[in-house]
Structure 1
Amino acid sequence: MTVGKRGGRSQALLATAVLPAVTALTVAVLAVATNVGTEVLPAWDWLRTPWLVWSAVGVLTAVAATLAVAQAHRPGGGPPSDPAAEIASRQSSARRGRTEGMSVGELTEADALALEVHRAVLTDGDEDLPLLPRYVERPFDHDVRESLRRCRARGGVIMLIGESSTGKTRACWEAMRAVLPDWRVWHPLAPERPEALVSAIEAGTIAPRTVIWLNEAQLYLGRPGVGERVASELQQLIGAQPGGPVIVLGSMWPNFWNSLTDAETKDHPAARALLQGSAVPVPSTFHDADMRRLRLADPPDPRLGLADRSADGRITQFLAGAPQLLDRYRNAGEVARAVLWAAVDLQRLTGTVHLPAAFLRAAASGYLTASAWDQTADDWFETATDELCRPARGVPGPLTARKPAPGGAGAPTPAYRLADVLAEAGRSERSRRCPPGTFWKAAAESLNDADQLLQLARAATVRGRYHRAYQLSAAAAWRGSTAALEAMAWMRLISGDAATARRLGTKAVARGDSGARIVLALACDAAGDEHAAAEVARQAIRDADDPAALLALARRRRDRGLAEQAAALLLDLPPGSAGMAVSRVIESMRRSGSFPPGSEFVVNVRYGDQAAPYSAPNGPRIARAMDPPQRDGSGPEASAPTATDSSATDPLDRDTVYDLVRRRDHARVDELMERMGRMDVAVGWWYQQMGDLDRARRWFVTAIDRGEQNAMPALIHLIRSRGEHQQARQLEVFGLDDEGRVSRSW
């Protein structure tokens, strides 16, 4: 069935204005019906009254129909054509024959744009030129094509690594057409990139001799909750080669590559294995020999000539419109800049490229001063997004509105995409800044992806915004995340609310989160139900041979002076039944007559291989979870940070940094840290050792805002060292408020 222009506009309005409200209400009904709990939605008790619920649904549905009809009769044209939508439609047609993708030999230049090759900047009088500028090969192009030739027989992965707008995607396009003209190419896009890829692999619709096109591969491999599955499925597909080889051809920025392939972490093991040996570096500039080839291009292309005169070797960036986009970013008005900053922060903290309009509208106000916000017009958001989406010289604007692919399932949530070059520039500019309160609040209320919400909750935690982390966790739990329930239980336990922690932990365990037995056992014990606590810990052994809950409980009882109870708990374990580590603990206890110290053992058993939700601060918060805090602030103090906490500082630079700190050359210290891309916590510790406590405190606060994991424990220790125990206790339990001050209870 064909949908006319008016019907398309009414559907768009329905998606924009009404469907989110109906969806939110429906989810709320389900949340109450499935008993997520009053801890998550305490203000929605009215949903338990059926006539109120269905009356509200009826009103919203009637409003939706009225608005749709009204919109359908408004004059105006339909949406402009979109290359990505067109290629998705063609792929959809191919899928009816159960084969993904299209023939490489049949691709046109328009398909290059659909495969996300950047549209080139326009020059005066170039309307008759080809859509793509003439391609100038560089030395790395030879490496790409040789890699494709090697993979043509046996399959494999080729990943181009370079900064934004350096020509990665165009190089993939040229190499694929030159080496594999008789293959197929498939760009997984809808309904979401990683889900589309996994579904096709499972359905067996990827034919042999297909190039799987993973432009911005981090969107497939780095997405929480699904990225590792994508990597595993691709490994299996390439290794099995059912009927013939398959090649994964993609690109990503260096920071994403480093994150996915870092052997020093235990994150992304499947992605790391998939990507091993696949990198082809792409330089950011054209070298002298490249420039000579560019100038000898025949026939000449005026766009290349303009880039030669204007770009100082950064040819591909100029052609992609990077200078114009950066100028528009730097010169944007206050309101437009606020929208861009909200977009930058969401993309840098979650990795998502689809930035919901509802989120941007709700978050942007916090990036404005009070006086600037008071002066905004009623249509401020529409005015700002219209300005930001306006193309210039043929290049899309800083934002691009997301359009649905023809034949897609339902109307997508209205969203925008941020230009790559601005995502990269904004990531650097915003790296030292913690997003405002409206950012976290808008995310909790506007985002529907539980994994993204949980990711943001972790980002809020490491930045000390514990109340925002709890709010985001509640939103993720509302949307079905069991891990979020466990995280909420930890935070309640740390704050001293053992009863609520127990309820949340019970729900998490009931939903299949066996790891939540640790917090459940400790919550039961803190609530005074020692028998239930021990039974929870023993059940973890019986069900999963997991000693972590029992060890945590034994440690807590030992620290409370209940050594016999601690020993009894451990002696319930047959030596070796839960692994060599437990056997060593038991034998050590038997020899010494007491449970050995070392709380880090408990943390490593549970969290060494699987990071616990919100274990980012690592120091006192997890330690406090093993020994729930007392409201009078008593308990062991956080240990002091040391210079060895600086795991990311280049050892060759550490002596240089220390010498600058000792000489109080603060400007040089800041410059070096900025170049290294982080705020090393050890620098603040050095300031503290030298007696410059005010500067140390400012350093730690800035490091917290930047998201440095060890900065919060360092700040707590500094405050305690100054004798401000109550404030340190308050900070440890409740974190910072939106303005960066020590938070009150929440």
Structure 2
Amino acid sequence: MNAPVTGRTDPGHRADAARSAASVQVADTGNVQASGHAIANSGIIHELTVIRHEYPAAGPPAGPDPSRHQGGGRLGRPIGAWDPHDLEVHPAPDPAGHPGTGRGDLPTYVTRRHDRTLARLVTAAADGESGFAVLVGGPSTGKTRACWEAVQPLAARGWHLWHPSDHTQPRTTLEELERVGPRTVVWLNEAQHSLGAAGAVGGRIAQAVHALLTDPRRGPVLVLGTLWPEYVAACTVLPRPGMPDPYSRLRELLTGRTVAVPSAFDAAALKELRDRAAAGDGRLAHAATHAVGGRVTQILAGAPELVRRYEQAPPGARAVLDAAVDARRLGAGLHLRADFLRVAAFDYLGDDDAADLGEAWFDEALRHLTAPVFGGLAPFRRVRRRPEEPPAGDAAFRLADYLEYHGSRLRARACPPESFWNAVAGLVDPAEVARVADSARRRLRFGVADRLYGVALDGGYEGARLFRAQLRELAGDSTGADRLAGADLDRGDLRTLHLVAGMRRASGDWSGAERLYRAAVDHGDVSALRPLAVLRRSAGDEEETARLYWQAVQGGEHDANVLLDASPPPHWRRWAPREALSPLDEADDHQSILQGVTPHWIETKDRADPEVAERLCRIAADHGTPSALLELARLRRGAGDTERARRLCQEAADHGCGPAYKLLAELAEENGDHDDAARITARFAADQRGVTLRWYVESAAKRGDWTRAERLARVELRHGSTLGLRLLARLREPHAPAEAERLAREAAGLGDAQALRTLAVARDAGNPDGAAQLAREAADRGDPYALRTLAKARDARDPDGAAQLAREAADRGDTSAFGLLALAREAAGDPVRAERLALEAVDCGDDVVPRVLARTRARAAAQEPRPGRPPSLLERVLRAGLGPDGSLPPG
């Protein structure tokens, strides 16, 4: 969708970029940043009073090839033939509680900021340019309706829309996706079922979507999806070293293609809502009257009535609802069978409530939960089986989306009781059982997880073997772990072996790790040579280390850490084919090499030998990673060598590294040359690499020129970005808090809730109550990380207050704060709080205990050893796990 960012500045390239459709990248805060070529031609250069760069005239883009759209057997149906409710657009009942008047009946649509983003995508698609966007927001925020409204202009152009026949079956989706042809909208509502599917199939779907978008014979197409913020957060977090990375393909696909949908209407949308309500739309009038904090779409979807039914449910029905919520948030499928719910719900009842229930309590609970509450909505919806599906022995139900969302927050800090885990063992789909086993493992219910992985394995889900081996190794059952790793090795799957070997290496069992790595090498696994070499180097065997590294290079292992951190030259010469070998120069797979050229690696090399570091960073730049030179320039600047920093930065810019211009401008500004700084920034804009005025905003603010700083922030605002206002609010806080709040609220009103979060952190030291209130408001406006960020900032000054903010964050859906605070408390030498926070993190599914424990052990090892020291609570928990009910291990 986006034009590629390159370092070329030739007129033809810039003309192509200038005439391409202005693509957008929407951050998780919801504000839109126009791409570089749009900003460069927008008047910013004039605002900065710097030199202009003229572009050569460019003709109109070539139109799409009509012949590509011919042919029969098209997948999907014409857009106009779809009922929006069949595409999961929520029905909106009228104020009297009756459903809509008929097929496709929807309230009048109110446009918002994200609709403009979608409109640009649709226009580009109509002109022949394929596009892809995923709308990110909570349930009942209008994501699916926005997609439906966006594609209406394509209906008149003969476009089809394809919706997977059963999006809960990702393999079927993958097979059908391969048949999508030109002028088709691919409808991936609730994309976690397809793009985020467990195992390899999710990655294959993401790869298939990428292939569809980039194949000119199949375009133009428009791929639209929706996701909850939790799913986006889960797939964009990089896994820890040695752990599987199931979302790498999806992470690449989503980069720059997410569109935030706020949970609340901003001021402009509320005004349009009132105008349309006054024109006679009764449903909008009802929503305008009853919505709190701009949450209009939730009122239209009947969400408040669903929540009321949840909170006021009788004990039996509430137990079933809580079991259903836990099942969905811990990995069970969309369709929950009655027999599962019956068994799972029992331990959610208190003793007195259980004693008062009659024999038919479960049937009564289902009747209560399937009864409509408002306009035909109900907490549970009975699932209608498709005609081609085989008959099943029990009814199945789907939990209402909004209740799943609401209940997941309500129960974010709760771990299910034993009856829930027992019910999971009876699920039919082994992959589903394995997903829930993963959740049990992350919550340190090791006995439960081991049993469920065994059920999944017996059902034919081979992927369960990986984590079952991990549990065996944690429990000290090396024989069992070896047996599981060997079974995968015989199947050609080396992941389990690497996981177990890595655990042994981390625990100090180097001989056990080496034995496994050598078994992998014997099976032709080149990637095992590198960790094996590290073990031999730790043992002082430089000769063997060099041989293993060179064997890895010959086998195609071209990671930079292998090629550049290997043994000293004398050992290389023994194994290399010629005297003056540079492994990096010999490597063919430069992309693989450059993945290892990290800032930490550059800093390490620069400390060891600055001249060698500079040479290697130039090699990296020549092969497509000019950021290596920029990172080195930053290091030289920090060391006070500004002239060399400027030279390296100019080299990075010449290689196409856009951010290098910012550093060049800063160096010029520090030297007092304001005009040169302005010229550099203008060149950055003109070369199509994107530009931001935030550095100029900050520079003006530091000089005390607040009027100019705000004017520049508003220049950026006119071109779609609120980041300048956000920065200015933070800078104004120490001097004029009221002005800072005005600016932050203006940005938040335009969809940038993160502006309130940033101001809250800046305000916390002087006004903690006011800061907490701003963070809560940011969270309510759709910023999921506001309270977590404030908790982390507050921790050093008020750890108990930080922990309370972490609990508030968890209640709003962000459970990561406990783990962050536990690590911070351990680093601060506060083991008691670290232990308590780590255990709270466990029940939220954050397996931070091993990381806290590893740091504690490292700290203890640096101190005087204490023979016979009894194991700590976390050591006992990590060894034995928690009971199904969360009980601590004995001792």
Pick closer, same or farther for the CA change 1:678–1:532 going to 2, 3 Å. Answer: closer
> Any idea what SS the aligned residue of 1:157 has?
strand
Pick closer, same or farther for the CA change 1:589–1:390 going to 2, 3 Å. Answer: farther
Alignment of 1:297-336 (within 5 A): 297=276, 300-312=280-292, 313-336=294-317
- Answer with 714-723 or 677-686: which moved more: 714-723
Q: Which amino acid aligns with 2:192?
A: Q
- Answer with 719-728 or 230-239: which moved more: 719-728
Q: CA deviation at 1:516?
A: 3.2
Counterpart in the other structure of 1:186? 162
* Match 1:349 to one of 317, 330, 336: 330
Q: Which amino acid aligns with 1:159?
A: V
Q: CA deviation at 1:447?
A: 4.3
Counterpart check, 1:115 vs 2:87: yes
Counterpart in the other structure of 2:202? 227
Q: CA deviation at 1:658?
A: 1.7
Partners of 2:791 and 2:817 within 8 A in 1: no
* Match 1:272 to one of 243, 246, 251: 251
Q: CA deviation at 1:520?
A: 7.7
Q: How many Å separate the matches in 1 of 2:134 and 2:452?
A: 34
Partners of 1:454 and 1:476 within 8 A in 2: yes
> Any idea what SS the aligned residue of 1:154 has?
coil
> Any idea what SS the aligned residue of 2:96 has?
coil
Q: Which amino acid aligns with 1:228?
A: G
Q: How many Å separate the matches in 2 of 1:267 and 1:532?
A: 27
Q: CA deviation at 1:318?
A: 0.7
Pick closer, same or farther for the CA change 1:713–1:293 going to 2, 3 Å. Answer: closer
Counterpart in the other structure of 1:209? 183
CA-to-aligned-CA distance 1:446-468 (integer Å, 9 cap, x gap)? 24132x33332222222111111
Q: CA deviation at 1:198?
A: 0.8
Alignment of 1:362-441 (within 5 A): 362-408=343-389, 411=392, 414-441=395-422
Pick closer, same or farther for the CA change 1:467–1:666 going to 2, 3 Å. Answer: closer
Pick closer, same or farther for the CA change 1:738–1:193 going to 2, 3 Å. Answer: closer
> Any idea what SS the aligned residue of 2:252 has?
helix
Counterpart in the other structure of 1:157? 132
Higher relative contact order (CA 8 A, sep 6+): 2
Q: CA deviation at 1:742?
A: 2.9
Counterpart in the other structure of 1:59? none
Q: CA deviation at 1:399?
A: 1.4
- Answer with 273-282 or 425-434: which moved more: 273-282
Alignment of 1:190-589 (within 5 A): 190=166, 192-202=168-178, 204=179, 206-225=180-199, 226-262=201-237, 268-297=247-276, 300-312=280-292, 313-350=294-331, 352-408=333-389, 411=392, 414-450=395-431, 452-518=432-498, 537-546=517-526, 548=528, 551=531, 555=535, 573=548, 575-577=550-552, 579=557, 587=567
| Percent identity (aligned) | 32
- Answer with 283-292 or 299-308: which moved more: 283-292
Q: How many Å separate the matches in 1 of 2:802 and 2:209?
A: 50
> Any idea what SS the aligned residue of 1:248 has?
strand
Q: Which amino acid aligns with 2:420?
A: F
Pick closer, same or farther for the CA change 1:161–1:686 going to 2, 3 Å. Answer: closer
Pick closer, same or farther for the CA change 1:406–1:102 going to 2, 3 Å. Answer: farther
Pick closer, same or farther for the CA change 1:294–1:522 going to 2, 3 Å. Answer: closer
* Match 2:148 to one of 166, 169, 173: 173
Q: Which amino acid aligns with 2:455?
A: A
Partners of 2:132 and 2:224 within 8 A in 1: yes
Q: How many Å separate the matches in 2 of 1:692 and 1:276?
A: 38
Pick closer, same or farther for the CA change 1:508–1:744 going to 2, 3 Å. Answer: farther
Pick closer, same or farther for the CA change 1:428–1:531 going to 2, 3 Å. Answer: closer
Q: Which amino acid aligns with 1:293?
A: E
Q: How many Å separate the matches in 1 of 2:97 and 2:416?
A: 44
Q: CA deviation at 1:493?
A: 3.2
Pick closer, same or farther for the CA change 1:584–1:483 going to 2, 3 Å. Answer: farther
CA-to-aligned-CA distance 1:486-528 (integer Å, 9 cap, x gap)? 3323322332333333333332222232233447889999xxx
Q: Which amino acid aligns with 2:176?
A: A
Alignment of 1:574-723 (within 5 A): 575-577=550-552, 579=557, 587=567, 654-661=792-799, 667=804, 670-671=807-808, 677-681=815-819, 683-684=821-822, 695-714=833-852, 723=869
Counterpart check, 1:734 vs 2:709: no
Counterpart check, 1:145 vs 2:107: no
Pick closer, same or farther for the CA change 1:542–1:104 going to 2, 3 Å. Answer: same
Pick closer, same or farther for the CA change 1:305–1:262 going to 2, 3 Å. Answer: same
Q: CA deviation at 1:397?
A: 0.8
Counterpart in the other structure of 1:17? none
> Any idea what SS the aligned residue of 1:296 has?
helix
Q: CA deviation at 1:241?
A: 3.9
Q: How many Å separate the matches in 1 of 2:887 and 2:546?
A: 46
Q: How many Å separate the matches in 2 of 1:523 and 1:303?
A: 59
Q: Which amino acid aligns with 1:400?
A: R
CA-to-aligned-CA distance 1:289-323 (integer Å, 9 cap, x gap)? 43343343386122222222222332221110011
Q: CA deviation at 1:263?
A: 7.0
Q: How many Å separate the matches in 2 of 1:101 and 1:431?
A: 39
- Answer with 671-680 or 153-162: which moved more: 671-680
Q: CA deviation at 1:135?
A: 2.5
Partners of 2:131 and 2:213 within 8 A in 1: yes
> Any idea what SS the aligned residue of 2:413 has?
coil
Q: Which amino acid aligns with 1:657?
A: D
- Aligned residue pairs total 581
Q: CA deviation at 1:239?
A: 1.4
Q: How many Å separate the matches in 2 of 1:160 and 1:550?
A: 41
Q: How many Å separate the matches in 2 of 1:239 and 1:685?
A: 43
> Any idea what SS the aligned residue of 2:187 has?
strand
CA-to-aligned-CA distance 1:687-718 (integer Å, 9 cap, x gap)? 66888765544322212111223235536987
Q: How many Å separate the matches in 2 of 1:399 and 1:270?
A: 34
**Structure 1 residues not aligned, in runs of 5+:** 1-96, 592-604, 610-646
CA-to-aligned-CA distance 1:551-571 (integer Å, 9 cap, x gap)? 46995x999xxx69x889868
> Any idea what SS the aligned residue of 2:340 has?
helix
Q: TM-score, normalised by structure 1?
A: 0.68
Q: CA deviation at 1:193?
A: 4.1
Partners of 2:75 and 2:181 within 8 A in 1: yes
Q: CA deviation at 1:133?
A: 2.1
Q: Which amino acid aligns with 2:327?
A: L
- Answer with 579-588 or 247-256: which moved more: 579-588
> Any idea what SS the aligned residue of 2:198 has?
coil
Q: How many Å separate the matches in 1 of 2:529 and 2:435?
A: 25
Partners of 1:362 and 1:442 within 8 A in 2: yes
> Any idea what SS the aligned residue of 1:737 has?
coil
> Any idea what SS the aligned residue of 1:350 has?
coil
Q: Which amino acid aligns with 2:87?
A: L
Q: CA deviation at 1:163?
A: 2.1
Q: How many Å separate the matches in 2 of 1:167 and 1:215?
A: 12
- Answer with 240-249 or 397-406: which moved more: 240-249
Partners of 1:490 and 1:501 within 8 A in 2: yes
Counterpart in the other structure of 1:638? none
Pick closer, same or farther for the CA change 1:362–1:570 going to 2, 3 Å. Answer: farther
Q: CA deviation at 1:119?
A: 1.5
Counterpart in the other structure of 1:106? 81
Q: How many Å separate the matches in 1 of 2:565 and 2:872?
A: 35
Pick closer, same or farther for the CA change 1:535–1:287 going to 2, 3 Å. Answer: closer
CA-to-aligned-CA distance 1:467-489 (integer Å, 9 cap, x gap)? 11211211121122333223323
> Any idea what SS the aligned residue of 2:223 has?
strand
> Any idea what SS the aligned residue of 1:160 has?
strand
**Structure 2 residues not aligned, in runs of 5+:** 1-71, 572-591, 597-784, 861-865
Pick closer, same or farther for the CA change 1:249–1:574 going to 2, 3 Å. Answer: closer
